[in-house]
């Protein structure tokens, strides 16, 4: 017997999609903002601040740090990644410690693109095809 999808489940799914699209749109508005550790404004932004403020503006409160964002997500395989998922990286000396987070903006069969705040470029869009980011990638997670 197949289960039917309820109207409530459809509404929740649509609401989640809208939240994700809105969060991505808000994050994109910060493109070019310089990096600032602990920052969450257009005067300076760090990676988790970008995620936090973008989802907050979209109506969802999410944790503030990379590690707390990781802990709040449902782990997903890279093959299952979708727009709006979070990607976690280890960019420091400890190659197993999450210290960077990014928001997936686009997924195609050939590429995963994400927006994040980096020390060198500020808020920018990157690709997992870039050797640096591929080498630092640890895991992915879904908030909703």
Known catalytic residue at 47: yes
First CA to last CA distance, the chain: 27
Going across the sheet that includes 137-142, the strands are: 74-76, 137-142, 86-89, 100-108, 111-118, 122-127
- Is 100 a known active-site residue? yes
The H or E element that residue 108 is part of is strand 100-108
* Catalytic, out of 23, 24, 27, 47: 47
**Active-site residue, from 73, 100, 117, 136:** 100
101, 116, 133, 141: the active-site residue:
116
What is the rounded (10 degree) CA torsion for 143, 68, 24, 8?
A: 20
Residues acting as catalytic residues: 47, 100, 116
């Amino acid at each position: 017997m197949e289960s039917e999808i309820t109207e409530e489940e459809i509404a929740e799914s649509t609401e989640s999609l809208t939240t994700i699209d809105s969060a991505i749109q808000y994050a994109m508005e910060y493109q070019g903002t310089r990096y600032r550790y602990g920052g969450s404004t257009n005067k300076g932004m760090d990676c988790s601040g970008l995620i936090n403020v973008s989802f907050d503006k979209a109506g969802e409160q999410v944790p503030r740090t990379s590690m707390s964002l990781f802990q709040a997500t449902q782990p997903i395989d890279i093959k299952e990644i979708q727009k709006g998922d979070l990607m976690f990286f280890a960019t420091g000396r400890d190659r197993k410690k999450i210290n960077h987070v990014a928001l997936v903006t686009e997924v195609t069969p050939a590429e995963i693109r994400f927006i994040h705040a980096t020390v060198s470029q500020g808020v920018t869009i990157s690709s997992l095809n870039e050797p640096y980011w591929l080498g630092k990638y640890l895991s992915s997670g879904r908030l909703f």
